[in-house]
Structure 1
Amino acid sequence: MNALLQRLDSGWSTFLVPVLVGFVVAMTAMSVNAAAPAGTVIGNQAAATYSDGSSVVRTVTSNTVVTTVQQVASLSVAANGAKTISIGGQVYYPHTLVNTGNGTDSFALTSSNTGGFSFAAAVFYADANGDGVPDNAVPITTTGQLAAGQSFRFVVAGIVPATAVAGASNTLTATATSGFAPATTGSVTDTTTITSQAVLNVTQVLDVAAGPSPSTANRTITITYTNTGNTTATNLTLTELVPAGMTYIANSARWSGSGATVLSDADATDNQGGIVFDENVSAANRVTAVIASIPPGGSGTLSYKVSVNSGLPAGANAATAATASFSYNDGAAAVPASNTNTVQYTVLAGAQVGMTGATVTTVPQGGVVNFTNTVTNAGNATDSFDLSTLGSTFPAGTTFQFFQADGVTPIVDRNGNGVPDTGPIAAGASLNIVVRAILPPGATGGPYTVTAKATSSTDATKSASALNTLGTISANTVDLTNNGAGAAAPGYGPGPEALPVTTTPVAAGGTTRITLVLANGSGVADTFALRASTDSSFATTTLPAGWSVVFHDANGAVLDNSGLINSGANKTVYADVTVPANVSAGTTQLYFRAQSATTNASDTLHNAVIIGTVRSLTISPNHTAQLTPGGTTVYVHTLYNAGNVTEADGAIGTATAATVDSSSGFTSVVYWDKNNDGVLDASDPVVTDLSQLTGGTNGANTTAGLAPGKSARLFVKVTAPAAATSGTTNITTLSIATGGIVGAMAAPGAVSVTDTSTVVVSQVTLVKTQALDAGCDGTADTAFSPVAISSGAAPGGCLRYEITATNVGPVAVTNLVVSDSTPAYTTYSATVPASATAGTVTAPAPGARGTVQTTVTTLAPGATVVLRFGVRIDP
């Protein structure tokens, strides 16, 4: 320090003005602000689940709304100082400026002074080691660019003019002005008093300014004192509380006046050659030294060592900042205690992450697996973590997605690198995420594993992985039966059966129709190939010479597969078996197989065909549909004569058609598609007796009745009562009853089909909009819109969201849950609590993060529910 003062007094005085101010950049961020960084994109989607009219739970998602966080300027400058100084001497005041805004900024430096004597302009200098004196003679007028949270330390070294008189004082104000927002300023005030007595200038320095927690070596704090006055200073008392994040190293204190001699820690009275020293005796956890005298121009140092404790958060924390105090007698009176510069140990950020996986026992083939994983920030600073999967043993075609803990809100890329990430997680905090595996339809077996990985966004070398295990994928199944589905249907369960479950007669040279029902027992929709053979193993698809089997749907279209059948649903198809005219009477074993090309699920059904005189009518298929209150629906059925004689010829045989409705108020009427156009129109007559089937264009005889091998398309028109409530179900049964003796054969039993009508159909749409609420008063400042907000959204301000769910279907939906969550860099704002136009609303605690949702028992057709809530951008 003396050397610097000599330089100031000599050659440097030609360009140094009377007041010198120096600043130092601290190259690591201070933990002063957790504001959302400028340019951060805040965005997410809302989601809703509901049960439709078929009791199927469906999920819809909204559009994504995004907001760009605006930059705001803010700074702090500390602290005010007060010192005494000799005429013509130099005075030093240490200060620290911190960019507390949320974006990079620079700060212009200016000064002014008034009082009993005047300083000229101020000049600013760097002080890289923070020892309270300028590092060099290069003046600066700005801090340069400082990142959000970055600090800039400085000292004021003032030269007192020779015209000053003892007792006079001066007030110096140093001001920093934001380059981004010039109206934003910060300042400190230093008071200098002139004395003709002793003047002590005391500074301190830390040997290493930054490092880990705990430190790998002990750190040394050195306090330097110099008497720049005209008389001897006595009883210099130095005190310093050891910071909470540091621990004093026993017997580490040394004084320049006694060289390498160890200063006693435990005795507050022993004079060790001009110094009395103790630690933790005069005051708890405090270093105390009393130096007997310092002559004019004299100087010295006191040093001691500390260790840096473990578990400290990253940044320049109060726990690792030390400020010494000093007082003395200037030869005439006691000088009140004042502070030295503060030395700061900055804890470097250390990224660490932990992750736990999950195990799911079983899921159906082609289903979805949700693994709940926990990501823990084990580092010492807020961090976000990129999410990825690797090392998957899941079947080819499996896709993976990440969702928030609610399982419905997708995790998006928040830091702009194209990879989904957790968003910021505070040091020591944990976040649950959902790793979703969407399985391909053809996979079975297990176990399967996939590793989820979380990688630090601040240090890509730090990551953690978690194993997620699926025990088994249960195989998909299909059940092939005759004439119906379920346990009562012939052929229910795995086949082939040892004996035929259905034997169907057919006349020589004729065709018989066998009704097959395919029930998809898989977890996903599937399509099944259809085959027929006399070989139960289907090693070959073999039929007797001259035989054919053709599969049809209800409209007569030829099939070779079932078409898509939803999970848990069934479909009816028809196998038309044609035998040659010269076939011998007897029974032929016939097997039908349904097999999935994607999952290989299959079932074989054992039937038989008996050749002889046959009376057989079939009608198909069973239907399900929805209709609105007071509305109608039309079901199409095919009536087929699988026998070898005409039924209902009006002379020998008879056949009637009748319907019965299960629910009160429903009505049904049977029509014949006489013009064979597939559409119920005015030319299609009502029929109650099959003898009315004459003169049509659909292949019926020109005479009354239904000839062998011929079919008739019948319409059943069902009308619901206007007062029918949503969810009401009606079953219409159409029965065809034959009578009379034909070809010496009695009439077979009646055949029937059922049409199930449900008064329900639904669809929900979801739209999300947003608006600024800069003052966080709970009232939107602008109109709500789905358009991105690119200006005006500043840290500490708020956003308002509206999520509108609309039932665009004609009937009500049930158990509607509209969900959204607080985006990254925001918390729930309860100035105006979350609300909805309907339902029960739940939300996080004020100032917390989490899911906001409303649960609506029923949403009527055409009705909407609007969920509203606000979030506050992290300040």
Structure 2
Amino acid sequence: MKTRLTLVAAASVLAAAHASAATPTAAGTLITNQASATYNDSTGTKTVQSNIVTTTVQQVASLTINNGSAKSGAVGTKVVFAHSVTNTGNGPDTFTLSQTNTGAMTLSGVEFFLDENGDGAADNATPITVTPQLAAGATYRFVAVATVAAGTTGSTNTLTVKATSTFNGSVNATSTDIATVGAGAAIDLTAGSYGPTAPGHGLGPEQAAQETKLTTAGTMTSFVLYLTNGGGSTETFALSASTNVGFNGAPLPDGWTVVFKDANGQVVTNVNVAAGANVKVTAEVTPAAGTTPGTTDIWFRAQSTTNPAIVDTIRDAVTVVAGDSLLELVKTQGLDDDCNGTVEGQYTKDPITAKPGACIRYKIVATNKGLTTINAVVINDTVPANTTYHAGAAANTLLGSILAPVAAGVVSNVSATGFNLTPGQSNTLDFGVKINP
């Protein structure tokens, strides 16, 4: 029997939309946005939501500092932690650098040095305590260098690096590094890529899932993980997974399995990572048949087989959905600073910063991950508060028809309507909004 979806709600919203005067957007306002889609399959009408994306309107004084890392060093040797501070405010600023360190292990002579090329090594022997003036959006890279004190008897030290705005001394950001006595290995477990910008960079566990994968009960889904050894010696790391952040008790729900594979597709439980290198592994997660639909957090862990203190975890999640079809909806955003309809840089799921008057471009990709064709798919999105629809750069879709506001200043929905997706097929909706000046 044919099924059909009538787009009454979306059309009514557009017809009822009216112009509203743009008002100044307060600095620090959070602009959040989430898309949704409906479709028909053999079991009836389904609804699915995308991830939520968030844009923060810049503060007068604002900054970020990178996540910390873990390093290990022998007694009497130096440990080096790479850092960067970014001016996310709306004007030039300088930032003072300071540190505190605590723990049974003693770190001595902690100093900061310029690391302009971001290679994790000091560029010269001149210590610094304050950054040069940074323009809005500029990043300053530096390293914290400390010595594992001779005669230390402890095993761990926590080094907190702090950057403070000189424009507004109440605005600061901190990053935490962990130093351990050992052979010099250190581990960073990240999702999908590696390096300072990779999801999950720095010591875990994270406060939110870095990646969420959709699947059906009994069907495998996979996560790509990278193990990066930032230390000075080769180390072997044991891989494990658990739905308990502390890896206590039963590691997984009954009937669930996790299998780790190397880049060649071979099953592995331990991974050897050379100093300064990274290794890719894939974690294949299969929920038990009959699993109740819902989202389950899952933590992956890489732990040294010789020094358990050298360890990192990363938080991901699996969403099990019901039915014989599965629509995956992924939303990304990019800054279109000059509002010409083209983003500067790349689309991302991550939070971004933007000035009042700038544009944000949204891209929503709907993919049929199921085994049957889904019909009458509708991708819906809403122009978020404190923005107006960017009529100067039209919305686009590969399939179906666009339903969008007729002019800037009209607050309404943006939709791609009336299309079907065969198994594996995708459709994309993209459009722009302008932050109220």
TM range (shorter): 0.3 to 0.5
TM-score for the superposition, normalised by structure 1: 0.22
TM-score for the superposition, normalised by structure 2: 0.40
For CA contacts below 8 A with separation 6 or more, give which structure has more relative contact order: 2
Which structure would you say has the larger Rg?
A: 1
